[in-house]
Amino acid sequence: MITSHMNGFAPEASAQVKGHRERAVDCPGDEGSLVKSPQSSAHMERIQHYQEELRKRREEDGRGRVDIDPNASLRLKKLAENPKVGIDNPTFEGKEKASTDSYPQDHVAELEELRQALKWTQHCLTDTQSQQDVELVMQLLVAEDFRNAYSVFAAVSQQKSRVSPTSPLTVQAEDLCQEVQKILQSSQQKEGMELRTLLTNPHLQALMQAHDIVAVQEMAEESVTQYLGETVKLVRLEKTRDTPLGATVRNDMDSVVVSRVVKGGAAESSGLLNEGDEILEINSVPIRGKHVNEVHDLLQQMHGTLTFLLIPSSQIKAAPHRQTVIHVRAYFDYDPSDDPFLPCRELGLSFQKGDILHVISQDDPNWWQAYRDGDEDNQPLAGLVPGRCFQQQRETLKKTITDRSREQQGKHWYAKKSKKLRKKSVATLSKSSDYDDILTYEEMSLYHQPASRRRPIALVGPTNSGHDELRRRLLSIEPDKFAMAVPHTTRNLRIHERNGREYHFVSRSAFESDMAAGKFMEFGEFEKNLYGTSTDSVRHVVNSGRICLLCLHTRSLQVLRSSNLKPYVVFIAPPSQERLRTLLATEGKTPKPEELKKVAEKAREMEHSFGHFFDATIVNLDPDQAFYELRRLIDKLDTEPQWVPTSWLC
């Protein structure tokens, strides 16, 4: 299947219509058959002289007038390039244009030419009655009422001769009016001020708004007819830079078929293009038999109103239903340029582990349509991301291939294993093929913590990354706001200690019973005594209205997240090895190079295995800077909602 993205096409460079006036070519005298008398020649010279003077006067009157420059507005320029506008709109004709201000002047010139011709004829007449009749006609021509009536007649005649457009020239009349108002703000000309006043009139603004509403409906009108024995439909769509078409096509033998309708495009918003529709023509250009790349190149040259001739899909169209948007956190990195299975490379949406994706369509279970959180304004069309099941299946396949490759590499050792061990390995491989355990996405929701029940802050990081120091600093500065969970231990109570303050002192049997019941987030043994932090201890701090500070091993995060405590996990990453050496030296520590290397390797391992649990990451380049950044993140929990797993809110 070959697909091509129909989006982001450059405007077509339409030919500019020259604004030359017409000249007659069928007048008599081309062969010298008419011989003018000296008297008529003299009169004609005077008429020509008068016409020349009149032309100069019109040019002088036109100087200083500021016409609307279509290049000052992209919409005006686009409208000017529309071949439907034609030469009857002289404002957009460039250097060759006839100014609209000279329109009444043209009528005056015509009447004056007629008067001069009658005056010349009067001298040629011999009888008095004829001369008087001509004099009456000349007096009528100079009368103000007659001239006004003639101007109205000429204007009406010109409008009647124009062919009304069969479809709207634009759906942006309201925006055009607003842009013309901005252009005219600095105009001091009488006509410019008058036009600005006219355009700001509420009645005209309401008219433009109504025009655009009707124009959109007209352009989206759908009609069904017969074409070569097939039932076809005619669809008109408006493609602009702000609203791209948003669809993909594929080749099916000689046919070009709509493969996908993308959310956010003109095709999706109109509801007129459907998956499975065969495209016969676009703007009267035949499409059948073309490769999808040719269709792509063709559409790049088209803009404005696109007229599609389609054979409707034979698939039964399901009743439209409102899509439910789901929000997921990605647990893997995705680069569409490296994905050979992506049906349309141009639509692929890249993301990184931990990014929030807003999935707006799961119509195709293999390829969801989504926006990346924070990029909605810069992403006019939804992008394609792998669906959950599809990603799990191919990750399982990838893991199986890797395991088999390792098995082949160690086949000599594998052949020596007992039959029982070989069966155990096969069983393990089969169990690992259950792709439900592979992390892809987790559904998320926004959560705003209540002031009386603040989320515990879990600081994680390798040894010497500084997370313990940050916790101690927070506890020492604001002990009323922050607190530690009181751990449990099986050792004996000391003289200065009190049960429930430093530790919860319990018997070994009680500790082991709670440990078996899964009540501890983490636990361990030191000098034959057991130590551990329970979820109940954390809950006690949360219920007191304070923020519980935890320093946990990454293995404990899953237990903490499965509770109802809604932790906020911050990963404290170490800086470069050289910077880490400097920071530890200020504390009087002299780590060996292999120890510094081990810290960096441990940090990479934690991010790789548990990075999907991290809500934020702080690189500890400077202790003070890291402390203020941590305080900023904690304070933000009180003012801004945060993404948490939807399962936490059930």
Band (pLDDT 50/70/90 cuts) for residue 627 is: very high
Would you state the pLDDT for residue 18?
Answer: 33
Burial environment of residue 528 by CB neighbours within 10 A (0 to 12, 13 to 18, 19 or more) = exposed
Band (pLDDT 50/70/90 cuts) for residue 548 is: very high
What count of Cα atoms within 13 Å lies in the side-chain half-sphere of residue 13? Answer: 0
Q: Pairing between strand 488-489 and 529-534? A: antiparallel
Would you state the pLDDT for residue 231?
Answer: 77
Q: How far apart are CA 191 and CA 184, in angstroms?
A: 10
From the list 563, 356, 568, 591, the residue with the least C-alpha distance to 462 is: 591
Q: How far apart are CA 581 and CA 591, in angstroms?
A: 7
From the list 67, 93, 54, the residue with the least C-alpha distance to 180 is: 67
Band (pLDDT 50/70/90 cuts) for residue 487 is: very high
Band (pLDDT 50/70/90 cuts) for residue 33 is: very low
Would you state the pLDDT for residue 605?
Answer: 93
pLDDT at 343 over 90: no
Instruction: Write phi, then psi, for 444 (nearest 5 degrees).
Output: -125, 160
> What per-residue string of b and e applies to 565-581 under the rule 16 or more CB within 10 Å gives b?
bbbbbbbbbbbeeeebb
Q: Pairing between strand 488-489 and 504-505? A: parallel
More confident position, 99 or 15: 99
From the list 293, 305, 328, the residue with the least C-alpha distance to 440 is: 328
Would you state the pLDDT for residue 7?
Answer: 43
In this prediction, residues 26-40 reach a mean pLDDT of: 38
Non-local (6+) Cβ contacts of 484 within 8 A are: 471, 475, 541, 548, 549, 550
Would you state the pLDDT for residue 456?
Answer: 95
Would you state the pLDDT for residue 347?
Answer: 86
More confident position, 583 or 240: 583
Q: How far apart are CA 289 and CA 299, in angstroms?
A: 16
More confident position, 56 or 616: 616
Local structure of 568: helix, strand or coil: strand
Condensed to tens digits (0 to 9), the pLDDT of residues 47-89 reads 566 556 656 665 665 554 545 565 666 566 666 666 555 444 4
Band (pLDDT 50/70/90 cuts) for residue 608 is: confident
From the list 238, 210, 403, the residue with the least C-alpha distance to 305 is: 238
Distance of CA 175 to the CA centre of its chain: 21
Condensed to tens digits (0 to 9), the pLDDT of residues 242-268 reads 677 888 888 888 888 888 888 888 888
Instruction: Write phi, then psi, for 162 (nearest 5 degrees).
Output: -80, 150
Local structure of 190: helix, strand or coil: helix
More confident position, 476 or 128: 476
Cβ contact 122:134 at 8 Å: yes
User: 103-124 and 128-142 are packed helices; what angle lies between their axes, rounded to 10 degrees?
Assistant: 170
Band (pLDDT 50/70/90 cuts) for residue 17 is: very low
From the list 352, 327, 338, the residue with the least C-alpha distance to 607 is: 352
Cβ contact 512:564 at 8 Å: no
Segment (H or E) for 349: none
Band (pLDDT 50/70/90 cuts) for residue 229 is: low
Would you state the pLDDT for residue 512?
Answer: 92
Break the chain into its structural domains and give their ranges: 39-212, 348-447, 449-649
Band (pLDDT 50/70/90 cuts) for residue 282 is: confident
User: To the nearest whole percent, how much of the chain has pLDDT over 70?
Assistant: 73
Q: What is the biggest distance separating any 2 CA atoms in the chain, rounded to whole angstroms? A: 145
Same fold for the domain at 348-447 and the one at 449-649?
A: no
Range of lowest pLDDT (139-153, 441-455, 588-602): 139-153
Q: How far apart are CA 577 and CA 285, in angstroms?
A: 64
Q: What is the DSSP letter of 451?
A: T
In this prediction, residues 408-415 reach a mean pLDDT of: 55
Condensed to tens digits (0 to 9), the pLDDT of residues 140-191 reads 878 888 888 888 887 777 665 555 666 677 777 888 888 888 888 877 888 8
In this prediction, residues 601-608 reach a mean pLDDT of: 92
pLDDT at 530 over 60: yes
Give, in degrees to the nearest 5, the angle at Cα 90 between 89 and 94. Answer: 125
Range of lowest pLDDT (225-234, 332-341, 564-573): 225-234
Would you state the pLDDT for residue 345?
Answer: 81
End-to-end CA distance of the chain: 42
pLDDT at 436 over 90: no
Would you state the pLDDT for residue 79?
Answer: 64
Distance of CA 229 to the CA centre of its chain: 40
In this prediction, residues 376-395 reach a mean pLDDT of: 87
Torsion 392-398-401-402 (CA) sign: negative
pLDDT at 439 over 90: no
Would you state the pLDDT for residue 271?
Answer: 81
Residues composing the chain? 650
Domain 348-447 grouped into CATH 2.30.30.40: yes
pLDDT at 444 over 50: yes
Q: How far apart are CA 120 and CA 40, in angstroms?
A: 8
Non-local (6+) Cβ contacts of 46 within 8 A are: 116
Would you state the pLDDT for residue 19?
Answer: 33
Distance of CA 479 to the CA centre of its chain: 47
Band (pLDDT 50/70/90 cuts) for residue 132 is: confident
For residues 613, 615, 617 and 618, what is the CA-based torsion angle, rounded to 10 degrees?
A: -130
More confident position, 119 or 382: 382
Predicted TM-score of the model (pTM): 0.59
Cβ contact 228:280 at 8 Å: no
Would you state the pLDDT for residue 272?
Answer: 83
**CATH no. of 449-649:** 3.40.50.300
